[in-house]
Structures are given as C-alpha cells and as structure tokens.
Amino acid sequence: RTSVYRYDVEKIPKMVIYSVLIVSKSGGLIYHHDYCSVDTEIEKTFGFPLDLKLEYSNQRITVTFGQRDGIKVGYALISINGEDISGRKLGEKDVLDEILNNEENYPINLKYCINFCRRISKFLFRFGIPKLTTNEKIVLASMFHSMYAIAALQVYSPKNKDGSKSKSSSSGIEVLETDNFRLHCYQTLTGIKFIVICDVLSLASGKDALLRKVYELYSDYALKNPFYSLEMPIRCELFDSNLQSLIEQHEKVTVSVM
C-alpha cells in the first residue's frame, strides 16, 4: 500500500484570518467570505476490505473511526480515483452500498463488484476537512446569534466594591476560543454583528480595531450603495475588494509584529 500525502506548500495558511461574517440584527447571515481555507487534503490508496469506518451524515461521507496516516475522524471523502463525490453518489452509483460495502453483503453483485475491483484494483481515496455549505453557514450564524443572546442574559451580576450593582446585564460573546481558531465578535449599537475568525496565534489586541474598520467599510461601501437594501445579503464588489485589501493589510501588520 502506498500513501500519497498531498501537502501543497502554496496551501499552507500564511494569512491568519480565516473568515469574516456579518450577521444582521435579526440573526440572518448577510455576508460571509473565507479568506484562507485550511484545506488539508490527503490522498491514499486502499485495497479491499477498507480499514476505515465510513458513515453518511449531513450529506457527506465522513470517517467515523479508524484514524490513520493523517486521515482524521471527521474528514469527508472527497473523491475516488479522481472522480468527485456528490452527496453519497459517485456518478450513478451509491458509494457506501454499491462500491465500498457490497462485496460481502450482497453476493449477487459480487461478480459485478469483482469486475469493478479488477478494473481498478485499488481505490485512490481523497479525504479532507469538509467545507461548510452556504446553508450550513446560515444555520451557524443564526445559532451564534442566539448564543450571543443567551450569553447576554442577566445571570451573573456581581456587585462592585462600593456595593452598587455593576451593569445590569452582560454583553454577548465577544471572543470565543478553541484549539484551532478564535472567533471575535463586535456588535454595533444598531445590532449588527461583525465576526472575524482567525487563528489562535495571531494577536488578539489588533482584532477590535480590525472589526471597527470592517464596520467602517460596511457603512461606506454597503450602506452608501443605493442598490443595497437593509438586512439583505451584501453583494457589493467594492465592499468585497476593500475588505480584501483591509485583511491583507492587517496580515502584513500582524506578521511584522510577531
């Protein structure tokens, strides 16, 4: 068995900002853009039987068990022999039932399967972190919207030293940190949320300024565009390009600081 690691140097993230999202007052995703996707894709040749457990969930075939050779649990199957998979189908055939598992369970198809396997004696699989679809992003954005509201509930209200109550309720989530990324959120007085997702290593201090600048760009290039209607998704090229150059500029500054 040979394994092919695809590790394109060009694809190693140089930029530290992954995505920018804007969520409207009502929780709708009105803008999202990925500036740098961490697509670690791995190709590997497998014979039969497969020593990975694959399952179909959320419209993807994902690895559920049997992590090995850089193929991690949670990775999705992207293509077989260079042919892209859509949903759970490869061309006309169902990947899980007809291609991968059928050999033992359905002897009636054995011949076909053997033929199939003989023709291409080994499968070349490509795995990778599944990309979020736009729908999923919309769902996540509105989920974050409600989590923000939950965080803002008046649950803990410590007293100040002089006995007076501090602010009657907390703000929402401003920073959310994980092993792999950090999410910064800034909500304007009018209720729009600007969200920047960046890596954990980049300096947290510059992010507030960045978020404010994104707000400025929004007010300049989205709101002053007469063809943009409020609360609707932002499709303004000027906004895109200005945001892009802002992000690039920010990268340079951050890198030089680090």
Partner 1 sequence: MSRSTVRTGDTKKVSSDLFALTYGSLVSQMLKDSDNPEEVNKQLDRMGYNIGLRLVEDFLAKTSTPRCLDFKDVAEKLQTAFKMYAGINPSVVNWSSSSDEFSLILDNNPLIEYVELPDHLSNLKYCNIIPGIIRGALEMVQIEVTAWFVQDYLKGDSTTELRVKFIKKLEEALPPGED
Q: Pick from 13, 84, 216, 238: which binds partner 1 (CB under 8 A)?
A: 216
Contact region with partner 1 (CB under 8 A), list: 100-108, 113-121, 158-166, 208-216: 208-216
Q: Pick from 110, 200, 223, 238: which binds partner 1 (CB under 8 A)?
A: 223
Q: According to DSSP H, which parts of the chain are helical? A: 102-105, 110-119, 134-151, 206-217, 237-257
State yes or no: residue 172 binds partner 1 (CB under 8 A).
yes
State yes or no: residue 189 binds partner 1 (CB under 8 A).
yes
**Residue 96 CB, nearest approach to partner 1 (Å):** 43
**Residue 146 CB, nearest approach to partner 1 (Å):** 9
Q: Pick from 38, 96, 117, 152: which binds partner 1 (CB under 8 A)?
A: 152
* Total number of residues that touch partner 1 (CB under 8 A): 34
Burial class (CB in 10 A: 0-12, 13-18, 19+), 15: middle
Q: Pick from 170, 176, 206, 233: which binds partner 1 (CB under 8 A)?
A: 170
Between vectors from CA 31 to CA 30 and to CA 35, what angle results, nearest 5°? 165
State yes or no: residue 192 binds partner 1 (CB under 8 A).
yes
Tokens of 88: 């759970």
Question: Which helix (H) or strand (E) is 190 found in, with range?
Answer: none
**β 123-128/76-80 pair status:** antiparallel
**Residue 242 CB, nearest approach to partner 1 (Å):** 6
Question: Which helix (H) or strand (E) is 153 found in, with range?
Answer: none
Q: Pick from 188, 199, 233, 240: which binds partner 1 (CB under 8 A)?
A: 188
Query: What is 157-175 written as a DSSP string?
Result: -PBPTTS-B--SS-----E
Is the distance from CB of 171 to CB of 189 less than 8 angstroms? no
Interatomic CA distance for residues 185 and 187, integer angstroms: 7
Sites of contact with partner 1 (CB under 8 A): 25, 148-149, 151-153, 167-172, 187-192, 212-213, 215-220, 223-224, 230, 242, 245-246, 249, 253
